[in-house]
Amino acid sequence: MTTQKPTWIPLLVLLAVAVLALFTDLPGSIPTEGIDTGDTAWLIVASGLVLLMTPGLAYFYGGMVNHKNVISTMLQSFIAMGVISVIWVVFGFSLAFGDSIGGWIGDPTTFFMFNHVFDHKLSLGSADQIKFTIPFALFAFFQMKFAVITPALISGALAERINFKAYVLFMVLFCICVYSPLAHWTWHPDGFLFNLGVLDFAGGTVVHMSAGWAALAGALYLRRRKSHIESNILPPANIPYVLLGTALLWFGWFGFNAGSALGANSLSVSAFATTHIAAAAAGLSWILFDVTRGKKVSALGFCIGAVVGLVAITPAAGFVTLPVAIFIGVISAMVSNIIAHWRASSNLDDTLDVFPCHGVGGMMGMLLTGIFATSAVNSAVAANGLFYGETELFVKHILALAIVSAFAFGVSYILLIVTDKIIPLRVNEEEERLGLDISQHDESISE
């Protein structure tokens, strides 16, 4: 077992938060007037389903890396459940959904240490634009699960060469500087993208585009693995892990998308249906597109395709019809397949194709939402998509896509530089050869 230089700083920070919590007096009474018990029950279940996606992602990624990096890769997802959850309670939720500062970010003191979250009125926005039929605290915890999985998605691009301590620091900075502002812009009623009329039902912009662009920045900044340079990539450690991870993600995604209706209602049913059919169509599209290249049908291909379909339908789930969801799944999987195929023949070392799948999938979903969104499905759609003869929404989505892409990539790249100056981001060559399971955690699995 290897040893490393002791450091007290992370533990002291956590202890400071724990002590601060003792001096934070939270009202314990949750308002009952206006709360619908059916909606509340569904959102509790949906919140659990969304959290299940992060362990699902751990299995999905863990099965695709080589056997020397399975534990480290999986832990990078699990650690997000601890780190981001605590940050969300302390000030992360405030940054995303606190009183708006010019439409750009929330006031970090609004719900500091979840103050006033449990007794908050059942509405959000300066003009009470969003009305809740669930406890506000439940909304806060539902949103927490989105914040948890987003930085975990990035880890797939950095797998097999990222210093674990540096990854945790980057994850914290990303949550503060990228995720929370994007969540505020897009989902807070006073956010500037929300007021512009941009539609993102469950996180295609906030979650998948942000993670995808950060993944691209990370792959570029960390440069190529030695095995990638030598074209000596080891095979995936465990394809059944990938299948299990896909099943958990697919199952959890019903909470992700259908839960974003914030109630047990017809809109949640529509989002549930579009989510499933888009994933099914995308999984088929990916493997059949591979067949046109002369490849065999693979379990890995179907799993990746299904996840791309889930990504692409996420922003559109509550805005499009069921037949359109099939189209979104098929087309998005083909486009992501093309980009992934290009990436594999390039010098870009995005280990698990996070940008082609989540970044491109998220962008496809955003564009296709601008084309196919209709008020016939959701009355919140102020302007129909391009397919229905209206251009306003599509133009706004093009503009938002450009803004979000530049912001997520640019800020993430800066955060990588900052992180690297504090803690080296890249493990050394010997640690990479040995594998991150042993070099970072002194743990291993049997080959």
Q: Annotate 137-206 with DSSP letters as a single string.
A: HHHHHHHHHHHHHHHHHHHHHHTTTB-HHHHHHHHHHHIIIIIHHHHHHHHSTTSHHHHHT---SSSIII
Mean pLDDT calculated for residue range 64-70:
95
pLDDT in tens, 1-40: 556 778 899 999 999 999 999 888 766 667 778 899 999 9
pLDDT given for residue 6 in this prediction:
82
What is the chain's mean pLDDT, rounded?
Answer: 94
101 phi, psi to nearest 5 deg:
-105, 90
pLDDT given for residue 68 in this prediction:
94
pLDDT in tens, 185-236: 999 999 999 999 999 999 999 999 999 999 999 999 999 998 888 888 888 9
pLDDT given for residue 24 in this prediction:
82
* CA gyration radius, the chain: 21
For residue 96, give both structure tokens. 């995303």
pLDDT at 447 over 90: no
Q: How far is 249 from 253, CA to CA, in rounded Å?
A: 6
Q: Give the predicted TM-score (pTM) of the model.
A: 0.95
pLDDT given for residue 7 in this prediction:
85
pLDDT given for residue 3 in this prediction:
62
For residue 221, give both structure tokens. 């900044």
pLDDT in tens, 422-441: 999 999 999 999 999 999 99
pLDDT in tens, 301-353: 999 999 999 999 999 999 999 999 999 999 999 999 999 999 999 999 999 99
SS3 110: coil
Assign 262 a pLDDT band (cuts: 50, 70, 90). Answer: very high
Query: Domains of the chain, with CATH numbers?
Result: 17-441 (1.10.3430.10)
pLDDT in tens, 297-309: 999 999 999 999 9
Q: How far is 381 from 364, CA to CA, in rounded Å?
A: 19
Q: How far is 77 from 149, CA to CA, in rounded Å?
A: 7
pLDDT given for residue 228 in this prediction:
87
Assign 445 a pLDDT band (cuts: 50, 70, 90). Answer: confident
* Residue 117 DSSP one-character state: T
Q: Is 30 within 8 Å of 128 (Cβ atoms)?
A: no
Q: How far is 52 from 249, CA to CA, in rounded Å?
A: 7
* Residue 426 DSSP one-character state: B
Q: How far is 289 from 186, CA to CA, in rounded Å?
A: 34
For residue 86, give both structure tokens. 């605590």
Assign 126 a pLDDT band (cuts: 50, 70, 90). Answer: confident
Mean pLDDT calculated for residue range 109-125:
90
Assign 111 a pLDDT band (cuts: 50, 70, 90). Answer: very high
